[in-house]
Structure 1
Amino acid sequence: MTTVQVREVVEQLVAAGQWKPGGPEVLVVLDAGYDAPRIAHLLSDLPVEILGRLRSDRVMRRPAPPQVYDPKGGRPPKHGGEFVFGDRVTWGTQQAVTATDTRLYGKATAQAWDRLHPRLTRRVAWLNHDGPLPIASCRCHW
């Protein structure tokens, strides 16, 4: 239902001339109750950027490591190591960090890791997906 509604709004913006090719993508902001990777996949044909809050117990995957010849054979991995939101040891080095002083809360720091992706499974939203499950690249900010 959410993707149907967002699709209608974006199509109305395009029809009204509020968005034109070459312009910035329409930013769609979602709370943690929405499956942001699934919504991004379903709206991939539209000029949208999905920004979703993820649950603090979520686990993401890093990109697959470079393929190395293995004489034993086998399929190369699709995913790299885990990035566990609740475990700083798994975070590694961030690609960007910024800090600012706020009037009410003191220093606020934002860190970003690029090319993380959720490891999708054929449950719930992806149960009836035809073909291999996509690898949706994400930028995670903490």
Structure 2
Amino acid sequence: MGVLSRFRVEFYECLYTRADALFELTDAVLCADGPVTSLVELTLMAEHRRGHGAMYDAVNHGWLEPRRLRRLLASTPTAEVLAWDRMHPRLQARGPWLDHCGELPLIHGTLIRLKVKHLPGDRDPKPVWLWSSKTGMTSEDVDLRWQAFLRRFDLEHTFRLFKQTLGWTVPKVRDPASADLWSWLIIAAHTQLRIARPLAEDLRRPWERPAEPRRLTPARVRRGFRHLRVKTARPAGVPRPSRPGPGRPPGSKNRRPAPRHEPGKTVKRAETLTEHVRLKQLRG
């Protein structure tokens, strides 16, 4: 419980603008009874003590420090890593190089050797070789790449949880900065679910199988997070009473229309390798 409370306090300190509203919005995402389908519905929950106007203002004008939050979210598995700079792979006329004419180039990069000290089931791990197209990498750059490789199996399930349960794609925001802010809030919410995993009770449905202790999925942890939240730190301040603004006068035109962007277009490509070769030969 202390680890979860410490994370919540440090996460609140990463929020620089509209901190209280953003923190309570994250709690509402965690304590919702079902999948998040609307931001307005989150403002009706007890965990969100502010109105929907404060929520929209926080999403559109709030800000957090990404670097500070990255340091808070970072975790380092036990592994032995070696890296060699300016190593190039042997390219072949396949994939993205199908349409290349002439001799294939030499692309220098960084070769990484990863050896994990322990695997589940006491298996003897074999070294894994990775390659990155970036040269001159620092130790932090190397750590970022092999940690992302170890987490590759979790990506599909994590993104599905983000979209279907936590409502990652629910807000239709206009500003890319607002989309980035909402993404960071979802990541922080998911991290709290992982930290609360050994603390939560299994509130399973009648048709679900019992889960092993301390092995609950994030979706099951979220069902009981409301009971854990009252035992953790809640640094957000109490909302102050205020009056709604005057708004735009009736009958007046909107002088600040939202920018509109044209959708991108895709180029039709050949579907088979034989057709690619034939078109390449025609082009000479």
Same fold (TM over 0.5): no
Task: Give the TM-score, by structure 2 length.
Answer: 0.15
Larger RCO (CA within 8 A; separation ≥ 6): 2
Task: Give the TM-score, by structure 1 length.
Answer: 0.24
- The structure where strand makes up a greater share of residues is 1
Larger Rg computed on CA atoms: 2
